[in-house]
C-alpha cells in the first residue's frame, strides 16, 4: 500500500471515529435546561415580579438537584443579543430561537396567576430536539406557599422529562416572601439607583438573605464603585452558602482598587479550599498587574494552571499568550495566542497581540494580516493599520467575575487532538456537517459543527460565512456581522458581501448595506438578489 493511500485510509478512519463520537447516544451531551420568565396573568405592580421570581426558583431547584441550567445572567445576555425584552410573552418560534441560540436542550415555560389569595402555577417543558411540549404541570395553593408550590411544580416537570428526581430540602434557608419579592423587583428595575434601593429594602426585611449582597455587588461593579461593592460582599458571613462566591467577588474588587497584596491573599486562601480555573486565572491577573516574585510565582504559571483545568475557555489561552508576550517570550506567546484564536476566531485582541508576536518572530507578512484582521474585527485597532501602530495596549488581561464557569462552545477530545494532524480533512468534514444542518434549519447544531471546523481551520471563509448566516437567522445580528466580516477577510466573495448587506439592512445601516451589495454585484454581476436588495434601499 502506498504512503498516500495509507494516509487517506487513516484520515477516513479518524473522520469516521469522530462521526461516531458525535452521533453516539451514549456520549450525548447531558440535558441543559433553560427556564424562561413566566407569563403573569393580569399583571399589576404587586404581581409583575412573579414571572421572573418563578423562573429563578425553578432554576435553583433544578440546579440543586444536579440538572444543568442557565444562570439568569446568561439568559439576560442572550436576550440582549437577540434584541428581546427581558420579560414579556414570547411566541413559540421565539422561544425555540432563544433556546437554540443558547445551546439549550429543553425549555421550561409557564404562566402564573394570583386571585383572591390563591396562586396557580402552570408550566410545560419544550423538548427542542423534537419541538414538542410535554404535558402541562399545574400546582395551586395559597399565595403564602409560593416557594412550596413552585418547588413541587419543578420536581414534577423534571420527573415527567426523566431528568432526575428533584428533592425539596425543607431545611434550606428560604428568605421571607416579602424579601424575595423586593429582591426580584431589584433585579428587574430599570436603573442602577432603583436596583440599589429595592435590593437594600430586601435586606432590611431579611438581613440573612445573602444572595442580595451578591446582586448589590453586581450593581456597584457595573457602575465602577468597587469600594461600595467590596463593602457589601464583605458582609456575607463565612457560614453562608454564598461565602465562596462573595469572597471571590471581594477579591475582584480589591484588584480593581489596586489592593493587589490583599487580593492575592484572598484568592490563594480560596484556592486552598478547592482550586478552580477561575481562581488561578484571577491570581494570574494579580501577578501580571503587581509584578511577580520568585516566592509568589509568575503570572504565566497561574494562567497555565487555569488553562489546564479548563482548556476550552479562550480567555485562559489569551491571558497566557498575552502574559508570555509581556515577558518577551515571543515563541510561547505565538503558541498560546494561536490556541486562543482557535477557540474564538473573532477575538480582535488575540489577533492583534498575535500580530506583535509574529512580527517579533520575523513573520512580518503573517503579522500584517493578523493586524489587518484585528482592525476589521474591532474599531479599537483600525488606526493600527492606517498609522502603522504596533504598540500593544496595557490591561488586556481578562478577569473572571464568578466561580461559575459559562461556556458558549465545547470541543471534545478528538477534535482537540486533531488540531495537529489531518486538520484540513477534519475541518472539511465538520464544515459539511454544519452546511447540512444549516440547510435543514438546525442552526444551533450547525453552529456547533462550524465551531469545530474553525477550531481546526480558524480562517476557513466558508465556515465563517455559514456561521454568519446562522447567527442572522437566530436573530444575533451583531455576531452575524462579525462572522461575515471575518469571512470576507479570509476570502472575499460575492456571497459573503450579499449576506453582510442583508444583515446590515436588518440593523438599519442602509449606507453600509448599499456598499456591501454594490461590492457583491461587482464580484458577481449576475447576482439578482443583490440587485433587488439595492432597488429596495432608500435612494439617498
Note the pLDDT tens digit of each residue in 303-351.
Answer: 999 999 998 899 999 999 999 999 999 999 999 999 999 888 889 999 9
pLDDT at 465: 96
pLDDT at 79: 81
pLDDT at 453: 87
CA–CA distance, 233 with 247 (Å, rounded to integer): 7
pLDDT at 167: 64
CA–CA distance, 306 with 397 (Å, rounded to integer): 13
User: Using an 8 Å Cβ cutoff, are 70 and 102 in contact?
Assistant: yes
> Which residues of the chain register pLDDT less than 70?
1-29, 86-89, 164-173, 384-390, 405-423, 540
CA–CA distance, 370 with 347 (Å, rounded to integer): 11
User: Using an 8 Å Cβ cutoff, are 511 and 500 in contact?
Assistant: no
- CA-nearest of 369, 379, 317 to 342 is 317
Note the pLDDT tens digit of each residue in 358-413.
Answer: 999 999 999 998 998 888 888 888 776 555 555 788 889 999 988 876 554 444 44
- CA-nearest of 21, 25, 10, 26 to 433 is 21
- CA-nearest of 492, 450, 489, 491 to 469 is 450
pLDDT at 25: 34
**Lookup: cell for 339:** 490556541
User: Which domains does the chain show, CATH number per domain?
Assistant: 32-168 (3.40.50.10070), 176-257 (1.25.40.10), 275-404 (1.25.40.10), 413-536 (1.25.40.10)
pLDDT at 244: 94
Partners of 133 in the β-ladder: 126
- The DSSP line for 470-534 is HHHHHT-HHHHHHHHHHHHHHS--HHHHHHHHHHHHHTT-HHHHHHHHHHHHHH-TT-HHHHHHH
pLDDT at 415: 46
3-state secondary structure of 137: strand
CA–CA distance, 62 with 132 (Å, rounded to integer): 21
pLDDT at 20: 37
CA distances from 385 to 367, 372, 374, 390, 485 (A): 11, 6, 9, 9, 17
Half-sphere exposure (Cβ direction) of 115: Cα atoms closer than 13 Å: 8
CA–CA distance, 428 with 306 (Å, rounded to integer): 31
User: Terminal CA-to-CA distance of the chain, rounded, Å?
Assistant: 66
pLDDT at 382: 78
What 385-388 contacts at long range (C-beta under 8 Å, 24+ apart), as own/partner pairs, is none
CA–CA distance, 78 with 280 (Å, rounded to integer): 27
Amino acid at each position: 500500500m502506498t504512503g498516500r493511500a495509507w494516509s487517506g485510509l487513516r484520515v477516513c478512519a479518524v473522520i469516521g471515529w469522530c462521526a461516531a463520537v458525535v452521533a453516539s447516544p451514549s456520549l450525548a451531551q447531558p440535558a441543559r435546561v433553560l427556564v424562561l420568565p413566566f407569563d403573569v396573568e393580569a399583571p399589576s405592580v404587586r404581581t409583575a415580579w412573579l414571572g421572573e421570581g418563578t423562573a429563578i426558583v425553578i432554576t435553583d431547584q433544578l440546579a440543586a438537584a444536579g440538572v444543568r441550567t442557565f444562570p439568569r445572567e446568561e439568559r439576560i445576555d442572550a436576550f440582549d443579543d437577540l434584541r428581546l425584552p427581558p420579560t414579556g410573552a414570547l411566541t413559540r418560534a421565539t422561544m425555540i430561537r432563544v433556546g437554540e441560540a443558547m445551546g439549550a436542550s429543553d425549555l421550561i415555560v409557564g404562566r402564573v396567576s394570583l386571585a383572591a389569595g390563591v396562586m396557580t402555577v402552570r408550566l410545560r417543558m419544550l423538548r427542542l430536539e423534537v419541538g414538542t411540549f410535554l404535558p402541562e404541570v399545574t400546582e395551586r395553593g395559597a399565595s403564602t406557599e409560593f416557594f412550596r408550590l413552585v418547588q413541587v411544580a419543578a420536581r414534577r416537570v423534571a420527573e415527567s422529562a426523566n431528568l432526575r428526581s428533584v428533592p425539596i430540602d425543607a431545611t434550606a434557608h428560604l428568605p421571607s416572601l416579602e424579601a424575595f419579592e423586593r429582591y426580584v423587583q431589584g433585579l428587574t428595575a430599570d436603573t442602577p439607583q432603583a436596583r440599589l434601593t429595592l435590593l437594600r429594602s430586601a435586606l432590611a426585611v431579611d438581613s440573612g438573605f445573602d444572595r442580595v449582597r451578591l446582586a448589590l455587588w453586581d450593581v456597584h461593579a457595573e457602575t465602577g464603585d468597587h469600594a461600595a461593592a467590596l463593602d457589601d460582599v464583605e458582609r456575607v458571613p463565612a457560614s453562608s452558602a454564598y461565602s465562596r462566591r462573595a469572597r471571590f467577588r471581594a477579591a475582584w474588587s480589591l484588584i480593581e482598587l489596586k489592593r493587589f497584596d490583599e487580593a492575592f491573599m484572598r484568592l490563594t486562601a480560596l484556592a486552598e479550599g478547592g482550586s478552580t480555573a477561575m481562581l488561578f486565572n484571577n491570581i494570574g491577573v494579580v501577578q501580571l498587574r503587581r509584578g511577580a516574585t520568585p516566592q509568589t510565582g509568575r503570572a504565566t504559571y497561574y494562567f497555565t494552571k487555569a488553562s489546564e483545568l479548563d482548556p476550552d475557555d479562550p480567555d485562559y489561552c489569551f491571558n497566557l499568550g498575552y502574559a508570555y508576550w509581556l515577558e518577551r517570550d515571543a515563541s510561547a506567546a505565538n503558541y498560546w495566542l494561536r490556541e486562543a484564536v482557535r477557540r474564538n476566531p473573532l477575538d480582535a485582541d488575540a489577533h492583534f497581540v498575535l500580530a506583535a508576536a509574529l512580527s517579533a518572530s520575523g513573520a512580518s507578512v503573517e503579522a500584517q494580516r493578523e493586524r489587518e484582521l484585528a482592525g476589521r474585527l474591532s474599531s479599537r485597532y483600525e488606526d493600527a493599520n492606517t498609522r502603522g501602530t504596533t504598540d500593544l495596549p496595557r490591561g488586556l488581561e481578562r478577569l473572571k467575575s464568578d466561580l461559575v464557569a459559562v461556556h458558549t462552545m465545547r470541543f471534545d477530545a478528538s477534535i482537540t487532538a486533531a488540531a495537529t494532524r489531518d486538520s484540513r480533512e477534519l475541518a472539511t468534514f465538520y464544515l459539511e456537517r454544519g452546511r447540512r444542518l444549516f440547510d435543514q434549519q438546525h442552526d444551533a447544531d450547525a453552529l456547533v459543527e462550524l465551531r469545530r471546523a474553525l477550531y481546526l481551520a480558524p480562517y476557513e471563509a466558508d465556515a465563517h460565512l455559514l456561521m454568519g448566516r446562522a447567527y442572522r437567522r437566530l436573530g444575533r445580528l451583531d455576531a452575524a456581522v462579525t462572522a461575515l466580516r471575518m469571512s470576507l477577510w479570509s476570502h472575499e466573495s460575492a456571497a459573503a458581501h450579499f449576506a453582510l448587506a442583508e444583515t446590515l439592512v436588518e440593523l438599519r445601516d442602509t449606507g453600509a448595506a448599499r456598499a456591501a451589495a454594490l461590492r457583491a454585484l461587482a464580484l458577481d454581476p449576475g447576482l439578482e438578489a443583490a440587485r433587488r436588495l439595492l432597488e429596495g434601499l432608500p435612494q439617498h
